[in-house]
Amino acid sequence: MNEPESPLWTGARNTLTKTFPQFYELEPGGPLALDLGEDGWLLEVKPEGKVICQYGVAMDDVMSLMSDGTPEDLGTDEVAKQAKYFIQPAVSKFRTLLLQSGFSEESDMNDEYVAVTFERVVDFHNLPKVEDLIRWCCRQIGGRV
């Protein structure tokens, strides 16, 4: 389900990393990411032209909390359900604001983590608008610019 990279990605990426030096690469040439404060929110700018704000938790962390140090075997479904319960308070805090601002919500789960993502399509032809959206996310969720 990988979407094609925007032909404007390389230029957008270079501009965004100059404007926001706190960006880091998740993989060479791939999405740019930055942490939105200390609460665990992450912002990503994807090569296909999307900005994503996400909050998640590692499955191993949830398993550790649930098993209280015992090595019992926990089912993935049970761990995922607890992970979703665990992240809901943080997500609920910003859900309405993000949805009203044009983001769409999805859940993402694999063997490594459970996350709630808020995604919004952006136009790399209009980088000042993309930069404004990133600043807005940093202010609203991370409490900084």
The confidence score (pLDDT) of residue 43 equals 96
Give the number of other Cβ atoms within 10 Å of residue 8's Cβ: 15
- Residue pLDDT, tens place only, 101-145: 999 999 887 778 888 999 999 999 999 999 999 999 999 998 765
Q: What is the CATH number of the domain that holds 108?
A: 3.30.1460
Give residue 114's domain range. Answer: 9-140
- What is the count of structural domains for the chain? 1
Residue 145 domain-assigned?
Answer: no
- pLDDT band, very low/low/confident/very high, at 71 (cuts 50, 70, 90): very low
Residue 1 domain-assigned?
Answer: no
The confidence score (pLDDT) of residue 100 equals 95
Residue 2 domain-assigned?
Answer: no
Rounded Cα distance between 16 and 28, Å, is: 15
β pairing state of 104-109 and 50-58: unpaired
